Amino acid sequence: MRLPVRICLLGLTLLAFLTLQTGSYAQDIRPIIDEFAAAKSFKKVEAVIDKLAAAGDPAAAVSLRALSEGRLKFKKNDGSVFITIEDAGEFALQDPLTGNAVPTDGATAKDFKKVKVKNSIRRKIAAVLSGMTLQAKDKSQRLAGAETIFNTSDVSALPALEAAIDKETDDDVKQAFLDAQASAILASKREVSEKLAAVARIEARGDRASLALLSKFLASSEGELATRISGAIEGIESVQALWANAQNIWYGISLGSVLLLAAIGLAITFGVMGVINMAHGEMVMLGAYTTFTVQQAFSLYFPALMPFALLFALPAAFLVSGLVGLIMERGLISRLYGRPLETLLATWGVSLILQQTVRTIFGATNREVSNPSWMSGAFELGQISITWNRLWIVVFALAVFAALYFIINRTSLGLDMRAVTQNRRMAGAMGIRTSWVDAMTFALGSGIAGIAGVALSQIGNVSPNLGQSYIIDSFLVVVFGGVGNLWGTLVGAMSLGILNKFMEPYAGAVLGKVIILVLIILFIQKRPRGLFALKGRAVEQ
């Protein structure tokens, strides 16, 4: 009952809208907008939206959009309605009709109260707006309008949509309009032949939204149309199944890159030096907290550079974690070489100390590390949706790997490192300061862990416990990949990531993890030195 009324109303709106396109508007909508101030319940807000829609003035789009975003507010003392902009302590007002800036006259955010809005109202606004914005200047608004009509199969929008299709010059938008038209046709009372063509168009689109749409209409259609729709659903599903595999591989690579980042510092301290560093996770955590501190500093002193704060956090995190690593190595670990059990206990103690120190300084609760805009959202590649933050982390992990590989194989520090780990006494005899190399190696591994913390702060929590969640996985990767081999760490991380992601849909996240642990235990039984075992005399020591 509710739906037809709504559709009728929308139809009326659009009719009014179309006739009014040419002439002046029948009534000024400002008094209607002002009614929002008196709308204390959701029902009343909806009633005002209906009135605005019935008035049909596309100028209402400005205030409706603001309402949907929760920015439409009214002054508590006189009930005048404004659009507010609050950004980092700044407060500004806009006219709800024109969107032009108006002076605040000393009013602050506290003098205003928000017009109430909830999900169902947001959906209603989207439906009203979709009709109004089909001929908007802004391409993204036209696309959003088309998408709403596509998802809701709004029949009443058909005339306006078809008028807009003829005028549309942008090809992307035109395609979106045609999709939306096909969706609306399915809901309309038009000829079966037209509907069949619409089904074909939606099948060609082939994404999840199309699948949802067709499934919705399958139940209500019959005869030839029903067979055609179920055929189309099958077609889309089989294509989707193929893409799902590609998607899984991507998720695996992405998880692998996170594992790689977490483990790569450990590959140096544990893999190359043989130090069982239980405080490795805390080095990652320090990196994440450094990111937080740098971002805080930037938002205070250089707000304009905020999007690039992460780039500055990288060297800072490297230095902080590296320095802590250096102090740890000199003060503690260097005294415990050759005593792995004591090292394990001592570093575990250090990890607890670091956690509690951070908890005391920054508090026990999560700290907010913001994502720069270039790391938010997703894009579609075929039917795979790839999120930007994951993509950047994959790129970043590979870059860190390459840099580390270069350092170890092409620099003199790397040469010293390899010499010391392969034969400490011989290296010492050749004049290498082995203890200095140890310190530098450990600092490098810790610094890399700090850098990893910068990246991991973008996808997870920044809390004192951050390190703990990565330490076990890190050791798994290094042991699985082969101790003392960077390539092993890369391959180990990627294969664990992809294996995990292929297991997850079948076994679930909990059981998947268990199965992987069991598989690794079996693997280590068979090949105790991991995937890429070091060969030669160095191994025997």
Chain residues binding another protein by CB under 8 A are 42, 69-70, 114, 116, 118-120, 122-123, 126, 151, 208-209, 211-219, 247-248, 251, 254-255, 258, 352, 355-356, 359, 363-371, 376-378, 385, 387-390, 459-465, 468-469, 500-501, 504-505, 508-510, 513
Q: Using the minimum distance from each CB to another protein, give the nearer residue, 487 or 502.
A: 502
- Which three-class secondary structure state does DSSP give residue 72? strand
Please state, as a whole number, how many other Cβ atoms lie within 10 Å of the Cβ of residue 245: 10
Helix or strand holding residue 414 (H, E): helix 412-422
Q: Using the minimum distance from each CB to another protein, give the nearer residue, 208 or 410.
A: 208
Q: How far is the CB of 232 from another protein (least distance, A)?
A: 13
Count CA atoms within 13 Å of residue 277 on its CB side.
37
Q: Using the minimum distance from each CB to another protein, give the nearer residue, 352 or 518.
A: 352
For strand 112-114 and strand 72-75, is the pairing parallel, antiparallel, or unpaired? Answer: antiparallel
Q: Using the minimum distance from each CB to another protein, give the nearer residue, 202 or 440.
A: 202
Query: Amino acid identity of 530?
Result: G
Query: Amino acid identity of 191?
Result: E
Q: How far is the CB of 221 from another protein (least distance, A)?
A: 12
Q: To the nearest 5 percent, what fractions of the chain are helix, strand and coil?
A: 70, 5, 25
For strand 101-102 and strand 112-114, is the pairing parallel, antiparallel, or unpaired? Answer: unpaired
Q: Using the minimum distance from each CB to another protein, give the nearer residue, 426 or 509.
A: 509
Helix or strand holding residue 483 (H, E): none
Q: How far is the CB of 477 from another protein (least distance, A)?
A: 14
Q: How far is the CB of 24 from another protein (least distance, A)?
A: 34
Query: Amino acid identity of 503?
Result: M
Burial (Cβ within 10 Å: 0-12, 13-18, ≥19) of residue 361: exposed
Q: Using the minimum distance from each CB to another protein, give the nearer residue, 10 or 255.
A: 255
Q: How far is CA 131 from CA 57, 139, 386, 439, in A?
A: 11, 14, 30, 67
Q: Using the minimum distance from each CB to another protein, give the nearer residue, 114 or 425.
A: 114
Q: Using the minimum distance from each CB to another protein, give the nearer residue, 5 or 538.
A: 5
Q: How far is the CB of 510 from another protein (least distance, A)?
A: 5
Q: 3-state SS string over 273-342?
A: CCCCCCCHHHHHHHHHHHHHHHHHHHHHHCHHHHHHHHHHHHHHHHHHHHHHHHHHHHHCHHHHCCCHHH
Burial (Cβ within 10 Å: 0-12, 13-18, ≥19) of residue 341: exposed
Q: How far is the CB of 138 from another protein (least distance, A)?
A: 19
Give the dihedral sign, CA 427/428/431/436.
Answer: positive
Q: How far is the CB of 3 from another protein (least distance, A)?
A: 10
Q: How far is the CB of 198 from another protein (least distance, A)?
A: 16
Q: How far is the CB of 509 from another protein (least distance, A)?
A: 4
Q: How far is CA 485 from CA 16, 105, 443, 466, in A?
A: 72, 66, 18, 26
Q: How far apart are CA 283 and CA 447, in angstroms?
A: 8
What is the phi/psi pair of residue 69, to 5°? -85, 0
Beta bridge partners of 113: 74
Q: How far is the CB of 16 from another protein (least distance, A)?
A: 25
Cβ-based neighbours of 410, under 8 Å, separated by 6 or more: none
Q: Using the minimum distance from each CB to another protein, give the nearer residue, 79 or 505.
A: 505
Q: Using the minimum distance from each CB to another protein, give the nearer residue, 298 or 532.
A: 298
Q: How far is the CB of 377 from another protein (least distance, A)?
A: 6
Q: Using the minimum distance from each CB to another protein, give the nearer residue, 20 or 121.
A: 121
Please state, as a whole number, how many other Cβ atoms lie within 10 Å of the Cβ of residue 171: 8
Q: Using the minimum distance from each CB to another protein, give the nearer residue, 378 or 429.
A: 378
CB 69, CB 284: distance < 8 Å = no
**Residue count (the chain):** 541
Q: How far is the CB of 435 from another protein (least distance, A)?
A: 22
